[in-house]
Amino acid sequence: MAKSKKNKKWYYNLRSKYRLVIFNDQTFEDRFSFRLTRLNVFVFVFSIGIIFMSLTFLLIANTSIKKFIPGYPDIDDKRQLYNLNIIADSLLQDIDRKNKYIASIKNIFEENPVEDHINEVEQTEFDYDNIKNEKSINDSILRAEFENQTMHNLYFNESGQLRGSNEETVKSFNFFTPLQGIITSSFNISENHYGIDIVASHNEAVKATLEGIVIFAGWTLETGYIICLQHERNFLSVYKHNSVLLKKEGDHVNAGEPIAISGQSGELTTGPHLHFELWENGSPVNPEEYILFN
């Protein structure tokens, strides 16, 4: 019974209320007063400790202070070590060549036979007369599988259309016009022009034609700033010659959402326009058949 009362007394003492008073030492006037409990003080001190540890972790993780932690791996040090290993290996090879060259010069002055240690090429004899130029069965099977693939090929079927392109599948989507303007260059596979060129006002917003994910957003020398979107049912839309990209790789965009600003970046351009491509199952389709641009 005594032990139970002691535990009960400890529990009540933890929640007992106290008053912290701050008063003027000369006038004894109360300036501040706080009502506290032991539990509140414990929670406050624990919360301050958690906040302090979190701020310390963020400071170390996001600043260069982490480099001073003993044993912390530094990527730059590994890169420098790798480059130094390459340089050391090159120096060893160069020293070995020079030693062989000096040894050869020494043999010449001493009139000793010179041994060629630099270019040692093993000659292998082949019977070229008995080689048969015949296709094997495995080679024929591999060729057939490769030619029947519909991904990333531009082969035509018997009706003159590209393999892997399903017109009904494409028309089932509600495509959003990426840019309103005048089409100056149409879709033409024979000239390796897999999209259309749209001329519009300068600095117009380029919008996503379908909902999708940004799989590439970058810059190339020929086509400038490019952004590519991956859509459902294996559709891919490409937007080239932009002046500014508004999205980055991995972003999710909705149909009609601005993703770039039109421009004339890249070498393969004669003025501000948008080069727009639409791909299905790795094969290009004509965007004018499914989207109204003007």
Assign residue 274 the CATH number of its domain. 2.70.70.10
User: Rounded to whole angstroms, how far apart are CA atoms 195 and 216?
Assistant: 18
254 and 277 share one domain: yes
Q: What's the confidence (pLDDT) of residue 126?
A: 56
Is 70 exceeded by the pLDDT of residue 269?
yes
Query: Distance (Å, rounded) from C-alpha 26 to C-alpha 152?
Result: 89
Q: Would residue 203 count as lying in a domain?
A: yes
Using pLDDT thresholds of 50, 70 and 90, give the confidence band for residue 228.
Answer: very high
Asked if residue 77 and residue 34 are part of one domain, the reply reads no
In a domain, 244, yes or no: yes
Residue 152 lies inside a defined structural domain of this protein: no
Query: Which residues of 200-270 form beta strands (DSSP E)?
Result: 205-207, 212-220, 224-231, 235-245, 252-253, 258-262
Task: Find the mean pLDDT for residues 258-277.
Answer: 89
Average pLDDT, stretch 272-280?
Answer: 91
Query: How many domains is the chain built from?
Result: 3
Name the residue among 212, 156, 175 with its Cα closest to residue 293. 175
Assess whether 199 and 260 both reside in one domain.
yes
Considering the domain architecture, whether residues 216 and 267 belong to the same structural domain is answered as yes
Specify whether the CB–CB gap between 82 and 74 falls below 8 A.
no
Domain match, 283 and 202 both: yes
Are residue 202 and residue 275 in the same domain, yes or no? yes
Kindly state whether residue 146 falls inside one of the protein's structural domains.
Answer: no
User: In terms of domains, do 197 and 254 share one?
Assistant: yes
In which band, very low, low, confident or very high, does the pLDDT at 51 lie, cut at 50, 70 and 90? very high
Looking at the structure, tell me whether residues 38 and 88 fall in a common domain: no
pTM: 0.45
Going by pLDDT thresholds of 50, 70 and 90, the confidence category of residue 8 is: low
Q: What are phi and psi of 129, to 5 degrees?
A: -70, -25
The tens digit of pLDDT for each residue in 137-164 reads 777 777 776 666 544 444 444 444 444 4
Per-residue confidence (pLDDT) for residue 202, from 0 to 100: 77
- Whether residue 283 lies inside any domain: the answer is yes
Check residue 4 and give its pLDDT: 52
Residue 91 belongs to domain spanning: 73-113
Position 1 scores a pLDDT of: 47
